[in-house]
Structure 1
Amino acid sequence: MNWTAGYNTSVAYTNSYHHEQSPTFLNACLVMQRVSPPSIDKFTYCELGFGQGLTALILAATHPNGDFYACDFNPLHVLAAVSVRDEARLPNLTLLENDFGELAQGKVELPQFDYITMHGILSWISDETRAQIVQFLRRYLKPGGVVQAGYNAMTGCAQVMPLQRLLTLGAKREGGTWTKASALARTLAGIDALHFQRNPDSLLRIHDFDAMDPRYLVHEYLQEAWTPFYFADIAREMSEAKLTFAGSASFSHMLPVEWLTDEQREMVNTIADPIDAEEVHDYCSNRLFRRDIFVRGNMPLNDARLREQAEHIHVWGNASVAYERVVASEHATVTRGPEFHHTLYALLRRSEMTLAQIFDSPEFTGLMLDDILKILRLSIATGETSIRYGAEQPCETADRLNAVLLSRAERGEVWNALASPRMGGGAAVGTLDQLLLASLHEKTDRTKALSKDTDELIARIKRSLVATGLRLRIAGAEVSPEDIEMRLGHILADSGKKLIAHSEHLGFWRAQKPAR
């Protein structure tokens, strides 16, 4: 076997941030599922298979109290991440170019870790390499440590496996770009091959190809060892490293699952084995991707210890999401009772609160703690509410990283998030918004600059649009070159102040005192 171990290294991975890998978010998920989390006063963290490194970079910048390690065996990925790390001066991030076998065998000097995370990598590597990861976890995870693993789920991906096989066949026949590699699948779908008629998910994926980043598609589909897994099989492998399932890093899938119908919930409750019951949940939701949390030593939180941990859980309302009584997920809808759900919504729009304050709020007198957790989990799942474990950390390192990311965005590098100390990780930001932020970043009075320096800001954003190749679109229509200046002026006038306020709210940059 060569050094790639079945992983496609022909192109670099996308610059994507995954919040479920944040240690503060993982701690919040554990507490919300009544599991004791590690301390984040001082901790060690490792990401396996970091891609372009955006997640590791943002987490190191927003957790200066953590000692971060991240490993990837693709030298292109390591070079890209090292360049950003060094420019942003992140002293607490060590980037390694090693394969998992070298790590598992102790050939690299490493500490014991409180957190080890991996996004997608389990589904893209060989059985041998996956066994090396389990060996690494057994060797380097501390007692009480946390593992977060994201991977393709068999129940939702079963009918996609023939499509993946067809795409790899197309790559073998055609080679070259993703467009050529996917030509065979597109052709068969276009001539009504019966597989696509009877497997609408596969056909829908083909229709979505043109709207997706080809780099992501190469890494998602053109892997030699592309494997979706049943949950029970991954849980069994993790048990070999003394790990037990602690819950989900997705609030939509936390138990008790709100999205199940009464009949589904009643049936699942008859299954005694919790691992089997968790796997049956995937059939109810046809889940495509799992975000699982495993721990080495599962210590449940009783009511007294839950109240202690609740002092560290911070929640606040998302002003951009309106309250809806009927809410939808990827696979179901839920109709909420009006009384306590809307009460929580209104409370969290007034100010940030701790979970302990919510427990003691007179509005929820008479409710059991688990009833309050259930209401809050659903609110977080809908996007109405944000959550963080622990105090907001100092912003100096996050400021440095964001300055680097915004500067590079102007030169054509694409990111999907910036560092947010308030979130304890990253927050999504579109490319155009990043270019707007970059133009305002160094202004001593950004609000005044919206009107005072409009021509300068527009000229800078236009140069960035050329560098990124981004096409300005409004209401679904592409803006013509002669109208771009006018449209950018309208965007700055209509949305500039809101964007500045939103950025200060999330901590993308520090709030400025109004000039006198």
Structure 2
Amino acid sequence: MTTLYDSVRYPNWPNTRTHPATIGALAQLLGRPGAPFGRCRVLEVACSEGVNIANMAVGAPNSEFFGIDIAESSIARGEETIGWAGLGNVRLRLADIRDEQAVQGEFDYIIAHGVYSWVSADVRAALMAMIGKKLSADGVAFISYNAFPGCRVRETIRDYLVYVLRDAHDPQQRMEAARAALEYQMSGWSAEKPFQKALLEAAQDNLNRPIEVLFHDEMGEVWEPQFLSDVADAARAQGLDYLADAHPSVLNDGLFPSVRFDAAKKHTGGDWVKFEQLLDFTDMRPFRWSLFCRAGEKIERIATPDRVVGLYASADLTPASGPGKKAFAFRARTGVEFETDDPALGGLLGRLASEPAVLLDEYAGSPDVVEAILRLFVNTAVTLATAPPIFTRSPGKRPLASPLARAQARRGEEVLAALHHKPVRMIDPFWNSFLQQLDGTHDHEELAQFVAASTGKTIDESRRLIPAALEEVAGNRLLMDAVKAQNA
């Protein structure tokens, strides 16, 4: 059966919020630790070409990854790429989730990203029922979806596109017409009027993304945003409890004592789902990354210092320049600056500025340091994971790039899966050929010989180019620490 995803390819990129090491860290903070990333079984529903799970598999050779999708061309393309990458721990299958035989066995992590609010009610029911049956005892399920009430603005954008495209049926024609229609309509909205300003921002957000995303998302046949409370009720009917949202910024009331939660009790009775649903009306949140676990055991939402044992912190920090009022000052990649006089916290932040990841075990006995790190975590300045990253910033004598990125480069992709589980864009065709040489067998002189032969540069020019080229690749988190990968 041919689908629209066979006609129009959907961008298939890794998503860091779906990574088991990231999900596992959050679950551990809430007192529900899951299976270790290095030895787990992961299922992704609607996996497309499988890039998301294949990139996970690079860092966990002893784990198993399965993906299902209904688009035949996506599965075929993914299987070819995975084969080129030599990833024997990933399997893709053409299957419909409504088929009870589509998924076999239990899984420690089940991922359904960008599915739930774009499929019919019977598919949503089948998805939730499958999770109820196939999630392991300590497993965690990830379900993302457009959320009401925040999606009311985006709903207006969709209504407009459905109207203006009612006579356009060819996919390419629809995409071109949608872009032109949005640009036209934006010219008539005023940023001085609050609702029109919101529409302008939503429309611009759509135009900033690949047009294929707009085609499948806002212009999809099914577009049914959900209330968190309804999704949680559907999960509860399958023996599942709502654990948390996977976006760190939503966790402030979940990891620390919350004045807002206490104040809302007269409306919620202390029910966590009802509380977060009220917050969705307050914050007008348009999207949810909901995590679910097996019902039965109490969820301890206030994090205690001991729960960081076994977790790795990472951050893109630099020492802040200029005079500071306190002894230690740092700037996050987002531009936010923070400072402290605490030598233990300052020392940890200094390590985070220079090391790919820091194991937090030694800080578990320092409640103030742990609280500071968790507050940086909910403000997205620090990431937490149950496993260290496998990328390296040092190319070594024989540089080794991610096998998946090399396979994508062989396919001619411009957006590659990086080893911090984010997409990186490398547009120049030079990178496609150069990355394929970084298989761990070529030293810097051999790489220079390759560059000279393929670009026409002199050998001396090529030798001077190699350090900068490798620095670019390493900076994009595409180079592997082979020892870490083997020991994962």
Name the TM-score, length of structure 1 as normaliser: 0.74
**How far apart in 2 are the matches of 1:399 and 1:310?**
29
1:371-386 equivalences in 2 (<5 Å): 372-382=369-379, 384-386=381-383
Other-structure match for 1:468 = none
3-state DSSP class of the match of 1:223? coil
**1:496 is the counterpart of 2:469:** yes
- 1:238 paired with 2:235, answer yes
Please show how residues 436-451 of structure 1 align to structure 2 within 5 Å: 436=431, 438-439=433-434, 442=437
1:282 aligns with 2:280: yes
2:81 to 67, 81, 84: 84
Q: For the Cα contact (< 8 Å) 1:317–1:384, is it kept in 2?
A: yes
State the alpha-carbon separation in 2 of the partners of residues 46 and 399 from structure 1: 22
* Aligned-residue offset at 1:219: 1.3
1:112-131 pair list within 5 angstroms: 112-131=106-125
Aligned pair partner of 1:253 in 236, 244, 250: 250
State whether structure 2 residue 142 is matched by structure 1 residue 138.
no
Structure number with higher helix proportion: 1
Work out whether residues 129 and 238 of structure 2, in 8 Å CA contact, stay in contact via their aligned partners in 1: yes
In 1, the alpha carbon distance for the partners of 2:241 and 2:281 equals 22
Shift of 1:510: 4.8
**Deviation for aligned residue 1:234:** 0.8
Question: Number of residues paired by the alignment?
Answer: 457
Work out whether 1:167 is the aligned partner of 2:161: yes
Q: How does 1:173-192 map to 2 (within 5 A)?
A: 173-176=167-170, 177=172, 178-192=175-189
| Cα deviation digits, residues 421-464 of structure 1 (max 9, x gap) | xx4xx24322248954752552667666788876557569xxxx
Name whichever of 27-36 and 448-457 sits farther off.
Answer: 448-457
In structure 2, what residue type is equivalent to 1:428? P
**2:349 maps to amino acid:** Y
Check whether the contact 2:158–2:219 (CA below 8 A) recurs between aligned residues.
yes
Confirm or deny: 8 A CA contact 1:46 1:113 kept in the other structure: yes
Aligned position for 1:415 = 415
**Cα distance in structure 1, aligned partners of 2:349 and 2:164:** 50
Paired with 1:259 and 1:357, the residues of 2 have a C-alpha distance of: 21
Q: 2: CA distance between counterparts of 1:149 and 1:279?
A: 16
> Contact conserved, 1:326 with 1:335, CA < 8 A, in 2?
yes
The CA RMSD over aligned residues, in Å, is 4.3
Amino acid at match of 2:285: R
1:29 aligns with 2:26: yes
Distance 1:163 1:301, change over 3 A: closer
Inter-CA distance 433–344: structure 2 relative to 1 (3 Å threshold): farther
Aligned to 1:429: 424
Task: Call closer, same or farther: CA 1:451–1:335 in 2, change over 3 Å.
Answer: closer
Question: Aligned to 1:349, which of 350, 353, 365?
Answer: 353
| Alpha-carbon distance, 1:23 to partner | 1.4
- The residue matched to 1:35 in structure 2 has which SS? coil
* Contact 1:9–1:74, Cα closer than 8 Å, also in 2: yes
Counterparts of 1:273 and 1:301, CA distance in 2: 12
Tell me, in whole angstroms, the C-alpha distance in 1 between the residues paired with 2:191 and 2:390: 55
1:465 maps to which residue?
none
Distance 1:115 1:187, change over 3 A: same
Change (3 A) 1:195 1:121: farther
Change in 2 beyond 3 A, CA 1:502/1:203: closer
1:331-370 equivalence runs, <5 A:
338-339=340-341, 342=346, 344-349=348-353, 351=355, 352-360=357-365, 364=366, 367=367
Q: In the TM superposition, what whole-angstrom CA distance separates every residue of 1:265-291 from its partner, at most 9, and x where no partner exists?
A: 774466422111112232343322211
**What letter is aligned with 1:112?**
E
Q: Give deviations 1:208-266, integer Å, cap 9, x for gaps.
A: 45443111111111112212211111111111111111112222221336999x98677
Partner amino acid for 1:359? Answer: A
Residue by residue over 1:405-429, the C-alpha shift from the partner in whole angstroms, topping out at 9 and shown as x without a partner, is: 2322xx3x233423x2xx4xx2432
1:170–1:182 Cα contact (<8 Å) kept: no
Contact 1:84/1:404, CA 8 A, preserved across alignment: yes
Contact 1:174 1:181 in 2 (8 A): no
Range that drifts further, 61-70 or 264-273: 264-273
Take 1:259 and 1:64, find their aligned partners in 2: how far apart are those partners?
36
1:376/1:209 CA distance change after superposition, 3 Å: same
1:176-234 deviation digits (Å, cap 9, x = unpaired): 32121444444444345999873322222333454431111111111122122111111
Residue segments in structure 2 that go unaligned for 5+ positions in a row: 321-327, 393-398, 484-488
* Partner AA of 1:402 in structure 2: A
1-structure distance, mates of 2:338, 2:261: 17
Whole-angstrom distance in 2 between the partners of 1:382 and 1:230 = 24
**Residues 350 and 437 of structure 1: is their aligned pair in 2 closer, same or farther, counting only changes over 3 Å?**
same
Distance in 2, Cα, partners of 1:23 & 1:509: 20
Equivalent residues in 2 for 1:186-225, closer than 5 Å: 186-192=183-189, 198-225=195-222
Instruction: Output the amino acid matched with 2:415.
Output: W
Within 1, Cα distance between the matches of 2:284 and 2:465? 42
The separation in 2 between residues aligned to 1:112 and 1:98, in whole angstroms, is 17
Contact (CA 8 Å) 1:15, 1:415: kept in 2 or not? no
Q: Cα offset for 1:171?
A: 2.8
